[in-house]
């Protein structure tokens, strides 16, 4: 699944994002609104990790989507 599909189905994807990153709030998910860079930034902020680590986590999560 490419990121355009994730973005287009964001309402359905919120649950999967929440499963992976439970510390993200509903407000975070609304701000992210299907934007990959916003997701990386929020993961970085909420989990206190460096950008490259957040980027890697999002990339690995993308691979799990079918």
Print pLDDT tens along the chain (66 aa). Answer: 788 888 889 988 999 999 999 999 999 999 999 999 999 999 999 999 999 999 999 999 999 987
**Alpha-carbon dihedral 52, 59, 3, 11, rounded to 10 degrees:** -100
> Domain for residue 36, yes or no?
yes
Domain count, the chain: 1
Predicted pLDDT of residue 3: 87
The dihedrals phi and psi of 25, each to the nearest 5 degrees, come to: -90, 170
Is position 49 within any domain? Answer: yes
pLDDT in the model for residue 31: 95
Q: Give me the pLDDT at residue 1, please.
A: 75
The answer to whether the Cα torsion of 58, 60, 61, 63 is positive or negative is positive
pTM, two decimals, is: 0.91
The answer to the question of residue 51 being in a domain is yes
Looking at residue 30, its pLDDT comes to: 95
């Amino acid at each position: 699944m490419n990121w355009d599909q994730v973005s287009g189905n964001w309402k359905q994807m919120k649950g999967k994002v929440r499963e992976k990153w439970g510390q993200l709030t509903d407000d975070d998910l609304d701000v992210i609104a299907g934007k990959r860079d916003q997701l990386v930034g929020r993961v970085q902020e909420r989990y206190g990790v460096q950008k490259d680590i957040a980027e890697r986590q999002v990339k690995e999560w993308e691979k799990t989507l079918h």
